[in-house]
Amino acid sequence: MIERYSTPQMRELWGLNHKFEVWREIEIAGVAYWKNQGRVPEEDFQQIRNKASFTVERINQIENEVHHDVIAFLTNMAENIGPASRHVHFGFTSSDVGDTALAYIIREVALVIKDRMEDLLESLYARAQETRENIVVGRTHGIHAEPTTLGLKLLGYYTETQRNYERLLLAIEDISYGKISGAVGTYSQLPPELEKFVLDQLGLKVEPVSTQVIPRDRHAFFLSVLSLIAQGLSRLAQEIRLLQKTESREVEEPFQKGQKGSSAMPHKRNPILSERICGLARVIQGYSQTASMNIGLWHERDISHSSAERIILPDATSLLEYMLIKMKFIVDKMHIYPLNSEKVINETGGLLYSSRALLVITEEMKIPREDAYAIVQGHAMDIWEKPSGGNLRSRLEGDPRLQQISQEKWDYVFDPRSFLLEITRIFERVEPFVKRTSNASA
């Protein structure tokens, strides 16, 4: 994690101090179980609960000697607890503490990401509604296709984000499993009842069949969902970048007072936030690949996953939260230029109405669709190839083969607002899902 792309809250949740605090709670909960069974005196339990303190500095100092972080942690606590520390970690193995705490912390940071997604969903839907009638060119292969609206574009990103939100909820559920089942998951030194007792206090579920570790398919699934969310943000950011190109400038990400775009060119207003989001999405995708490779550990465990997870889990979650915050800012504050969109619509002389013209000619002239296609395409190719080729409407209206088609029909064909009716119906279709997301958020 680097400060540039992480928030103080996320750095605190992934910090060593917080990790050791969770470890301590797990260890104290384990002692509490043994106390309830009559194996730990009340006096010793109170001594442990009151004096189980640590410092990150001392743990690091010990770890430099013993090269084992859990042993260093336990040694430091024992220094502060005294003789009653013999009850701490009784029957446990290191992964009982480490893996259970990791699941707890992942859930904590995932809930932060969930809140950020809810914020973005609210912004996306608000801007989609605001721009639902802002007509823009739809493009396929980068070429003008048919009219759409900026609102419908944003509604599509809204529904994708909503799907990813639901996937995140599944991933949170799937990662919320701990294990305190001993060295190879056989409960040889402690009973399953202890495991359930401790995990209940943490709000975690019992891993049905663990080895010495929680199976890493859970972590891989979680990272794959984070990657999907990141790729969705990247897709939206890329669209903003494309719409911000000088040739069209239909949309522009926020450019703040005092901001400078280039050290050499004072005129520049670059989509740097959108580009940053696209770049960070690539990093998270790589982390997802690493998480998948962590699934295949040797036998009951090895620690080849551990070093990778110390990087990929804090980084991926921190980066994604940062991306969600930045995307919300972009969506909320982005500049929209309807006049530029209108100019772009008119740039190709009405070619983007060719499919509607094709159907009207077929229907009104009672001719085969292939013949109507040939008529429209013939005029369209002339417009593409000749700058002075006119516009599609004037050419079709002037075509002697089409004289019986009424002015009213041509008005319908070439009216961009005639596309709005069906777009409105799409918004109405999405509305029930919007309410469900709102209920889930509450």
- What residues are labeled active site? 141, 262
Cα-flanking dihedrals φ and ψ of residue 120, to 5°?
-65, -40
Neighbours of 62 (CB within 10 A): 19
Question: What is the DSSP code string of 334-403?
Answer: -EE-HHHHHHHHHTTTTGGGHHHHHHHHHHHHT--HHHHHHHHHHHHHHHHH-TTS--HHHHHHT-GGGT
Cβ atoms of residues 211 and 283 within 8 Å: no
Measured distance CA(333)–CA(257) in Å, rounded: 13
Cβ atoms of residues 7 and 325 within 8 Å: yes
Closest CA to 98 of 172, 22, 191, 160: 22
Q: Rounded to whole angstroms, what are the CA distances from 9 to 13, 318, 322, 342, 386?
A: 6, 9, 11, 44, 59
Cβ atoms of residues 374 and 367 within 8 Å: no
Residue 151 tokens read as: 């609102």
CA 255 centroid distance within chain: 24
Residue 215 tokens read as: 């199976």
Length of the chain equals 442
Closest CA to 404 of 367, 378, 377: 367
Say if strands 335-336 and 251-252 run parallel, antiparallel, or are unpaired. antiparallel
List the end-to-end C-alpha distance of the chain, in Å, as a whole number.
Answer: 31
Measured distance CA(175)–CA(234) in Å, rounded: 25
Q: What SS3 class is residue 408?
A: helix
Measured distance CA(252)–CA(245) in Å, rounded: 9
